[in-house]
Structure 1
Amino acid sequence: MASPATPEKGTGSIVSSSENKDGPVATEHETTLASFAHLDEKKILRKMDIRLIPMLALLYLLSFLDRGNIGNAKIEGLQEDLKMAPDQYNWCLTVFFFTYAAFEVPSNLLLKRLRPSIWLPTIMVAWGVVMTLMGLVKNYHGLLIARIFLGVTEAGLFPGVSYYLTMWYCRHEFQFRQALFFSAASVAGAFSGLLAYAIAKMDGIGGLEGWRWIFILEGIVTVVVAVLAFFILYDFPETASFLTEEERAFVVFRLKYQSATGKGNEGQVRVPEAEEFKWKYVWDAFKDWQIWVNIFVYWGIVCPLYGISLFLPTIIKSLGYSSSTAQLMTIPIYITASILAVISAWASDRVGKRSPFIIPLLGVMVVGFAMCISSSNPKVVYGGVFISACAIYPSFAGVVTWLANNLSGSYKRSVGMAIQIGVGNLGGAMASNFYRQKDAPRYLMGHGLELGFVGMGIIAGLVLLFSYSRINKSRDKRVADGELDMFTQAELSEQGDRAITWRYMY
């Protein structure tokens, strides 16, 4: 039996390992890692980063800006002008997440069928139009309906872009790129406060209140950028015009064989991911235990995330600051969180681990929200919110990456990530009601509920960590015992992350 070669990190080749009556588990392929040895992998990655990440970051910045600017509009008079009760305002926040969650799975399936360069700009034009029209609503019901449709149109962007990145980058490269584009969300938070501060000065122009101009101008900008995105976004590595033919082949090769690695007496075995569409892969995603456990970790992060993004200006204003000062005081929080998200992601990719950069950060959130609960001193509360935000944004990029790294098969990953983000974002619906106006200025219930969800996230994260470790050890033993001989390469490929050659990243 041939002794298999060991591919380098992030790449692989189909290597001879063992045979059975149905054929070899893995046979020598004419294309191997050595075929691309003369290419500069780092240079290719830089080309991809330059062409992909800035545009994706801009798209997500506008998405997060458009869903969260209602918090800025609120302290500029939206609630009073539309004669809304506090509970009605909270409902306008909540309904967004119902439609947002419902449309994420179908959107991700459409993304691959319709091509990213068509689908993503199309939904972006749609939500830009909705956002612009939100500036013209006359009452509570108008705002409620606009938020419902904003959820429908924005649903596909975040899960779509997250999945899109997995079509270009390997497991150990993914979180850094995820953080680069997701950090746009924290920049959006800072940018939102700065923009709202400036736009609110337009109060009275055209007979419209300042908060209306926040929606109108940001919606128009979204539509303009969406039109540009039709011409700037690339689809898949196979068709990327900025790569040479050989570079395209290399990127496709390393993605196809980078995922499943079994270690044992036989060395390492690389199995290609299943690429063809089968409804089986969709149902496999819905039945996968790890997705549902991961959602509890996701809730432990996303509830504080939306609590911060939707209510931060209100929380700061309730500490005794003016509206304009509250808007400006959000900026250093978001900028710092953005920087820390990128640093944490770089370190996580560097060491090839996810849980050490998620679970401890959940512990930091506990400290931050505990500070908010334990004191009425404005400086302490502001410090607590600051600390929490600086843990939320790095851990959010990590939890999305953690699941993506542990799902094998293109379509299963697509659906699994959409389930995680879709169901997970129902946490936003819950968080929309945590900070009630009648609880100002302490907001003890809101901070307390955030603490509860963070605690739940820590427990779920530990369950994932120990489960992944146990399963990996069990599969190592099965491979060492020769069980690999029982499977063909095609069977292992179809099994995806349930194959004994797959190792979970934790």
Structure 2
Amino acid sequence: MAAQKDNPDIIHLESRTDQGDPNPKNITSEITPVPKPNTDSPLTGRDKAAQFLKQANQATIIVTPSENARILRKIDLHLLPIILFVYCLQSLDKTTLSYASVFGLIDDTHLEGQEFSWLGSVVYVAQLVFQPLVAYALVKLPVGKFCATMVFCWGAVLCGMTAAKNFGGLMAARLLLGAFEASVAPTFIAVVQMWYRRKEQTTRNASWYAMLGVVNMVKPSPRVYNLGSLLTYGLGHIKSTLRPYQIIFLFCGCITVAFSIVMYLFMPDSPMTAKFLKEDEKLIAIERLRMNQMGIGSGVWKWEHVREAMLDPKTWLWFCLMLTISIPSGGISTFGPLIIQSFGFSSFTTILFNIPFGAVQMIATLGGAWVSDKIHMKSAVLLFLCLPPIAGCVVLLVTGRASSDRAVLLVGYYIISVYPGISPLIYSWSGQNTAGDTKRKVTTGMLFVGASVGNIIGPQLFKPSEKPRYDRGLRSNLALFVVLAVLIVAGMLWIRVLNTRQAARRRALGKSEVIRDLSMMDRKRGDNQYDEEILNMGEDNVGDKAFEDVTDLQNEDFIYVY
């Protein structure tokens, strides 16, 4: 490729092996002018992206904005279909338990007392136990191959769940299911972090998480003609000695096993090894991530990163946020259909009325991500998303259970269903404020430890004996949504403190105190007109530590986002 450097349509992405013009002001880029590298530093322990760029031995990469957009589209087309379908399968596999309860599972397996609640919780017990191993594996092992193997194993377990005849058999199957599913969401967060700019990450995380809404609309429901009618009609009318929920377990398990093979073959482990990218495209895919200041992956487990993660107040903030949202999430996801049924509806009508719940989930998840991208803030959107669930809990608590109250009760239930939009924003808020390969994986692990604990506690707050009102569970959820809002405000204040400290560090080092976060910027006026701040940044070698596998606290140029 050849181009003139004074052409405003050209992005210049410089390789770290470049020994050319040392003045970054002379380089223009949609993302950042790349600083002159220090090629004398050792590669051991650095990000694999730094090693790849050095080995490429290419002085300059010149790419037009259209090429940059083309590579992003290429990444989306190859990664997102796999991620979305796998998460849809996981959501479907886990939540079929709640619908099985409506269609005879409890009676067939002679469940008593809190046994059904424990079937909902045991998956998260396993995920809680396995999160440290998942964090280690995501640093040391090829990400795509590791996740595909786990998907295969959970599909096989789901097939075997068909044979469970009692509480013990169901518990064993659900325990294994949780162990193998523990890696899926952390892997997808890691994949998004290693392929996308911070500006692009929120919508990608929201996209795969929105599959929960799809599942709630197409969830197996015999004889109900909804968006999943073709699947459910066929499964519900198979002539077999198996019960409908057993057929569903078997069908979903076989689909999962089959798709795990597709995932193993086509899911790349990193931009450096992606077969769908040419060599020059790999370089562009890497360089466009420089101003994330997060790197891609080192493959080296660093205990100093673990220590920093555990001592960093942010880590515990993310943990508390996920714990707080996951308690009501765990209860509603398990008892949601039973809550609707308690309004006085039949089993089939219960399934039908749960379809809008899934639609609201999708709108809240994708809409929340879209708004946060537009205003460049996740915290404000998170605060707003806390309000509808608070109102919904109040409606269900103060409304009676007479047949004339059904419409109001349904509205209250649907308002609560905004809450799933909160979790993916927490994933993105956490991930975009953490750097260093090991630290990122440990922090993500802590997120899912909090989520697992919350999902264990959540179903225990609802007891079948308390129907039709489920007052204890709803009061607890109301209090937790209020606590969540308080924690979000605390997070905003702490981010402000951290950015003030970073500015002071830069000033002490003789650098510019104020720098712009180019990883969160994009075109503001369309086509070929770019924000002047993007075109003129590059002072103080901002970005020279991007692929050094240093943590956010070790990099004075790291900018924390709200």
Give the TM-score, by structure 2 length. 0.79
Greater share of residues in helix = 1
Structure 2 CA distance, aligned partners of 1:33 and 1:432? 56
1:212-251 mapped onto 2 (5 Å cutoff): 212-251=246-285
Of the structure 1 ranges 473-482 and 487-496, higher mean CA displacement relative to structure 2 is found in 487-496
What is the aligned length?
481
Alignment of 1:69-468 (within 5 A): 69-194=96-221, 197=224, 198=232, 202=236, 205-255=239-289, 257-260=290-293, 275=298, 277=300, 278-376=302-400, 377-390=405-418, 392-468=419-495
Aligned partners of 1:200 and 1:211 also within 8 Å: no
Cα displacement string for residues 328-357 of structure 1 (whole angstroms, at most 9, x for unaligned residues): 211122023213322221232233221011
Whether contact under 8 Å (1:199, 1:210) holds in the other structure is no
Deviation at 1:276, TM superposition (A): 5.4
User: How many angstroms does 1:120 deviate by?
Assistant: 1.4
For the 8 Å contact 1:122–1:226, the answer to whether it is kept is: yes
Could you tell me how far apart the structure 2 residues matched to 1:372 and 1:272 are?
A: 46
Amino acid across the alignment from 1:349: D
Instruction: State the shift of 1:85 in Å.
Output: 0.7
- Cα distance per residue 1:120-140 (max 9 Å; x no partner): 121111111111221211111
- Who is 1:14 aligned against? 35
Contact 2:220 2:248 in 1 (8 A): no
Q: How far apart are residue 491 of structure 1 and its match?
A: 11
Distance 1:184 1:162, change over 3 A: same
Over residues 153-177 of structure 1, what are the superposed CA-to-partner deviations in whole Å (9 max), with x where a residue is unaligned? 1111011111111110011110101
- C-alpha spacing 1:316/1:105, structure 2 compared with 1 (3 Å): same
Determine the C-alpha separation between the residues in 1 that align with 2:295 and 2:238.
61
Give 1:268's aligned residue.
Answer: none
**1:37 Cα shift?**
4.4
Closer, same or farther: CA 259–228 of 1 in aligned 2, 3 Å: closer
2:559 corresponding residue in structure 1 = 503
Structure 1 residues 422 and 187: alpha-carbon distance in aligned structure 2, compared to 1, 3 A threshold: same
Residue 285 of structure 1 deviates from its aligned partner by 2.1
Cα offset, 1:202, TM superposition: 3.9
C-alpha change, 1:120 and 1:329, in structure 2 (3 Å) is same
Q: 1:175 to 1:195 in 2, by over 3 A?
A: farther
Counterparts in 2 of 1:131 and 1:154: CA distance versus 1, 3 Å = same
SS in 2 for 1:135: helix
Aligned-pair CA distance for 1:65: 0.8
Moved more, 362-371 or 341-350: 341-350
Offset at residue 497 of structure 1 (A): 0.9
Contact 2:328–2:458 (8 Å) recurs in 1: yes
Letter of the structure 2 residue corresponding to residue 475 of structure 1: Q
CA 1:14–1:32: 2 relative to 1, 3 Å = farther
SS in 1 for 2:291: coil
Q: Amino acid of the residue matched to residue 479 of structure 2?
A: G
Structure 1 residue 411: Cα displacement = 2.3
Question: Is the 1:72–1:196 Cα contact (8 Å) retained in structure 2?
Answer: no
SS at match of 2:559: coil
> Under a length normalisation based on structure 1, what TM-score does the superposition of the two structures give?
0.88
Q: Output the CA distance in 2 between the equivalents of 1:369 and 1:10.
A: 44
Note if contact 1:3-1:16 (Cα within 8 Å) is conserved in structure 2. no
Do the aligned partners of residues 156 and 12 (structure 1) sit closer, same or farther apart at CA in structure 2, a change above 3 Å counting? farther
Q: Percent identity?
A: 23
The letter of the residue matching 2:333 is S
Counterpart Cα distance in 2 of 1:174 and 1:395: 15
Match of 2:49 in 1: none
| Cα distance in structure 1, aligned partners of 2:31 and 2:394 | 41
Q: Please list the CA deviations of residues 165-204 of structure 1 after superposition, one character each: whole Å capped at 9, or x if unmatched.
A: 1110011110101111111121112221546853697479
* CA RMSD between the two structures: 2.8
Conserved 8 A contact 2:194-2:297: no
Q: Which amino acid aligns with 2:140?
A: R
Alpha carbons 1:194, 1:331 under 8 Å: kept: no
Distance 1:105 1:388 in 2: 32
In structure 2, relative to structure 1, the CA distance for the partners of 1:496 and 1:201 (3 Å cut) is closer
Conserved in 2, the CA contact under 8 Å of 1:259 and 1:273? Answer: no
The residue matched to 2:484 in structure 1 has which SS? Answer: helix
- 1:10-53 deviations in Å (ceiling 9; x for gaps): 54522599xxxxxxxxxxx9989973346622221111111111
Deviations 1:59-79 (A, max 9, x none): 000101111110000010111
Residue type of the alignment partner of 1:501: D
